Amino acid sequence: MSRRLVLAAAQMGPIQKAEGRDVAVGRMVRLMETAHRRGAEVVVFPELALTTFFPRWYHEDLAEADHWYETALPSNATAPLFEAARKFNIGFHLGYAERTPDGHRFNTAVYVHPSGEVVLKYRKVHLPGHAEYEPTRTVQHLEKRYFEVGNLGFPVVRAPVGETSVNIGMMICNDRRWPEAWRVLGLQQVELVMLGYNTPSLNMENRGFEAHHLRVFHSHLSIQAGCYQNACFAAGVAKAGDEDGHELFGHSIIVNPQGEIMAQATSWGDELIVADCDLGMCALGRSTIFNFEKHRRTEAYGRITAQTGSVAPPEWRPGER
Amino acid sequence: MSRRLVLAAAQMGPIQKAEGRDVAVGRMVRLMETAHRRGAEVVVFPELALTTFFPRWYHEDLAEADHWYETALPSNATAPLFEAARKFNIGFHLGYAERTPDGHRFNTAVYVHPSGEVVLKYRKVHLPGHAEYEPTRTVQHLEKRYFEVGNLGFPVVRAPVGETSVNIGMMICNDRRWPEAWRVLGLQQVELVMLGYNTPSLNMENRGFEAHHLRVFHSHLSIQAGCYQNACFAAGVAKAGDEDGHELFGHSIIVNPQGEIMAQATSWGDELIVADCDLGMCALGRSTIFNFEKHRRTEAYGRITAQTGSVAPPEWRPGER
């Protein structure tokens, strides 16, 4: 029997700083309704989907930023998402800023079963940017200020998604550029990676080498390679458009285990893309070219876990061997 | 002062089983001459560049395959390559089958300085295929029979290439699909990866998912992602065309640290492609988005070196947290 999943990626247009969660949640419920009409069994929303991408705003006192974080899920503001999940019998992935009861702050994502139960939680490991205000930067990127490094690793769980059970895992935004993140999920037989992002269209700190048009290419390249090399599907989902004067790119995609793009958003607004995923495809790579047990050579990989930064290589001198 | 390197990738057309090394070496010398006329300072030749891709032929007795291996470099047969290097003041990368004095067999590559000295040697780590004759296969792929797993790791050395010093590293064929190989080189600040391959155009063991036209895409995807994520250049160089009735794809490429293809071979024969590489580009990725020291989180990567094969994830049960 073939295992199939109708997967939806719900790209969102911008959320302005002045807008409350009710505006975003209302739009998300409409996207879930659309997903239901398109026959989707799961909807993937972006990173920090309830608010503007607030790490671009500096606060000296972290407490002044507290209103950007969720302290409970569901809350009054997010309850309509859980109601819609039940009503439409559809699971959803949500990215949000999490503040724990004991005061820790994470960039977090959850997968919620249609029953409203949280199946899987992930906290972002690869935080880009910086922790202190940088006066030379045109735009601040303060993720290292507002979030701690995720402390849950890269968990995978086998859970009911639609009518089948699927090995699900997550990444958030910058994680997608790190092959280590993909591989840790692949080593747990992940079949579907849910991945939200907020990525600026322009590299404001450009030092002359990275053409702006390459930014979408780099995002797709990383996701496509990750899917191919780990024989999994992914939904890479953007918050896009002009957010408080700062442009985020869209081009959300659903990718198959061959690294092919199955569906792509082409607007900068709220847009639903859907793909019919044959989960049997994951088995091909996993049992042939990427049969890890047969082909991986961990004795040659030591540096990956033994050292964090890079080291300069030795210099060759003629006559030496 | 900008550090530049004029890099040539010398794709080779097929080498038939019946052809001697003199035929291949003659063609390679002509390619080196062309490279010299195009201003190249280094030429990268493919994997197993001196003979047909012999692992497709089965021998019960390994000794019957001994004539495919080199026992010394240079030898009478390969001396013309070393002479051409000196004459044209051009370094070269060569892939060949190596048999050591004590009887070990490796799929090997070397970088040879114009002086004729071997600067760097690498022995292929990720051997694809199988060790025993498989009667159900249309074509045998006996690399695991004819070669031992490389025992040199993924070494990088800083060496004179052209008019500057370059951090050079190597991969061979199937290695390019493994992000671990790229990362181990990246952790040693590799700037140029030399990479030869022999890859069939058709997946004869296809089980219904992999369209043949995706095979070049997968090769390019892996190389482009590896270069982007490790901020390095690569020359991915094919032996291409119909070799003893078995088709190998070409599409050799030179890729920059942004993952962009700078040059691409479009024939299935001997073809030289050249690119002018600004090695300063490597510093951008390495000091920003891929500043490993700042952003890598080795505590989350444990599985990459701790386990070889994948493991099934735990099953979620409602009501459990």
Residues of chain A contacting B164 with CB distance shorter than 8 Å? none
CA distances in angstroms from B160 to A171, A232, B91, B154, B167, listed in the order given: 41, 41, 9, 19, 9
pLDDT at position B208: 66
Q: Closest Cα to residue A84, out of A75, A95, A92, A76?
A: A92
Q: Which residues contact B315 (CB under 8 A, 6 or more apart)?
A: A157, A158, A159, A165
Residue A177 Cα, gap to closest chain B Cα (Å): 7
* Residue B250 token pair: 């070409």
Interface test with A, best of B192, B295, B311, B321 (most A CBs within 10 A): B295
Which among B128, B150, B184 has the least Cβ separation from residue A304? Answer: B184
Phi, psi of B203 (to 5 degrees): -90, 100
Instruction: Summarize pLDDT for B105-157 with one digit per residue, the tens.
Output: 999 999 999 999 999 999 999 999 999 999 998 889 999 999 999 999 999 99
Question: At A76, is the pLDDT very low, low, confident or very high (cuts 50, 70, 90)?
Answer: very high
CA A144 to chain centroid: 17
pLDDT at position A206: 67
Separation between Cα atoms, residue B226 and residue B53, nearest integer Å: 25
Instruction: Summarize pLDDT for A172-215 with one digit per residue, the tens.
Output: 999 999 999 999 999 999 999 999 999 999 887 766 677 889 99
- Asked about B47 being catalytic, the answer comes back as yes
CA distances in angstroms from A244 to A16, A26, A52, A248, B303, listed in the order given: 6, 20, 8, 10, 41
CA A320 to chain centroid: 48
In angstroms, how far is the first alpha carbon of chain B from the final one?
A: 59
Residue keyed to tokens 């985020």: A248
Separation between Cα atoms, residue A53 and residue A243, nearest integer Å: 8
Contact B237, B9 (CB under 8 A): yes
Is 0.95 exceeded by the ipTM? yes
- The dihedral through the CA atoms of B293, A217, A284, B142 has a sign that is negative
Q: Which residues contact B280 (CB under 8 A, 6 or more apart)?
A: A209, B2, B3
Residues of chain A above pLDDT 70, percent: 98
Interface test with B, best of A295, A299, A311, A317 (most B CBs within 10 A): A295
Interface test with A, best of B123, B172, B209, B230 (most A CBs within 10 A): B209
pLDDT at position A285: 87
Residues of chain A contacting B158 with CB distance shorter than 8 Å? 312-316
Question: At B284, is the pLDDT very low, low, confident or very high (cuts 50, 70, 90)?
Answer: confident
Which residues of A belong to the active site?
47, 124, 173
> Cβ separation of A188 and B310 shorter than 8 Å?
yes
pLDDT at position A79: 98
Q: Which residues pair with A276 in a beta bridge?
A: A6
Question: At A132, is the pLDDT very low, low, confident or very high (cuts 50, 70, 90)?
Answer: very high
Phi, psi of A217 (to 5 degrees): -55, -45
pLDDT at position A212: 87
Residues of chain B contacting A288 with CB distance shorter than 8 Å? 205, 207
- Asked about B173 being catalytic, the answer comes back as yes
Which among A174, A187, A310 has the least Cβ separation from residue B310? Answer: A187
Separation between Cα atoms, residue B77 and residue B20, nearest integer Å: 9
Contact A155, B271 (CB under 8 A): no
Annotated catalytic residue: which of B41, B70, B173, B277?
Answer: B173
Q: What is the DSSP-derived secondary structure letter of residue B3?
A: -
Question: At B285, is the pLDDT very low, low, confident or very high (cuts 50, 70, 90)?
Answer: confident
Phi, psi of A318 (to 5 degrees): -50, 140
> Cβ separation of A305 and B301 shorter than 8 Å?
yes
Residue B87 Cα, gap to closest chain A Cα (Å): 18
Q: Closest Cα to residue A214, out of A185, A186, A249?
A: A249
Residue B296: burial class (beta carbons within 10 Å; 0-12, 13-18, 19+): buried
pLDDT at position B1: 57
Which among B158, B258, B309 has the least Cβ separation from residue A214? Answer: B258
pLDDT at position A127: 97
Residue B6 Cα, gap to closest chain A Cα (Å): 18
Describe the crossing of helices A214-230 and A179-186 by its angle, rounded to 10 degrees: 20
Residues of chain B above pLDDT 70, percent: 98
Please check the confidence at residue B302 and state whether its pLDDT lies above 70.
yes
Question: At A111, is the pLDDT very low, low, confident or very high (cuts 50, 70, 90)?
Answer: very high
Question: At A166, is the pLDDT very low, low, confident or very high (cuts 50, 70, 90)?
Answer: very high
pLDDT at position A296: 98
How many Cα neighbours within 13 Å face the side chain of B161?
Answer: 31
Which among B128, B284, B304 has the least Cβ separation from residue A301? Answer: B304
Contact A296, B304 (CB under 8 A): no
> Cβ separation of B182 and A181 shorter than 8 Å?
no
Q: What is the CA radius of gyration of chain B?
A: 20
Residue A15 Cα, gap to closest chain B Cα (Å): 25
Please check the confidence at residue A321 and state whether its pLDDT lies above 70.
no
pLDDT at position B2: 79
Contact A35, A45 (CB under 8 A): no
Diameter over CA atoms, chain B? 75
> Cβ separation of B222 and A228 shorter than 8 Å?
yes
Which among A181, A224, A297 has the least Cβ separation from residue B125? Answer: A297
Separation between Cα atoms, residue A191 and residue A274, nearest integer Å: 17
Q: Which residues of A51-90 are buried (b: 16+ CB within 10 A; e: fewer)?
A: bbbbbbbeeeeeeebeebbbeebbeebbebbbebbeebeb
What pairing do the DSSP bridges indicate for beta strands B261-264 and B253-255?
antiparallel
pLDDT at position A129: 92
Please check the confidence at residue B258 and state whether its pLDDT lies above 60.
yes
Interface test with A, best of B304, B311, B317 (most A CBs within 10 A): B304
Q: Closest Cα to residue B226, out of B265, B199, B258?
A: B258
Q: Residue A194 CB: number of other CB atoms within 10 A?
A: 31
Which among B288, B301, B315 has the least Cβ separation from residue A180? Answer: B301
Please check the confidence at residue B307 and state whether its pLDDT lies above 60.
yes
Instruction: Summarize pLDDT for A209-234 with one digit per residue, the tens.
Output: 778 899 999 999 999 999 999 999 99
Total residues found in chain B within this entry:
321
> Cβ separation of A209 and B313 shorter than 8 Å?
no
Annotated catalytic residue: which of B41, B98, B121, B124?
Answer: B124
CA distances in angstroms from B252 to A13, B34, B248, listed in the order given: 40, 17, 12
Instruction: Summarize pLDDT for A229-250 with one digit per residue, the tens.
Output: 999 999 999 999 999 999 999 9
pLDDT at position B247: 95
Q: Which residues of A282-295 are buried (b: 16+ CB within 10 A; e: fewer)?
A: bbbbbebbbebebb
> Cβ separation of B305 and A304 shorter than 8 Å?
yes
Mean pLDDT of chain B: 96
pLDDT at position A173: 98
What region does A319 belong to: left with phi over 0, alpha with psi -120 to 50, or beta?
left
Q: Average pLDDT in the A88-106 region?
A: 98
Separation between Cα atoms, residue B220 and residue B251, nearest integer Å: 9
Instruction: Summarize pLDDT for B16-58 with one digit per residue, the tens.
Output: 999 999 999 999 999 999 999 999 999 999 999 999 999 999 9
Q: Is the peptide bond prior to A318 cis by the omega test (within 30 degrees of 0)? A: no
Residue contacts between A and B (CB atoms, under 8 Å): 252
Contact B171, B190 (CB under 8 A): no
Q: Average pLDDT in the A274-278 region?
A: 97
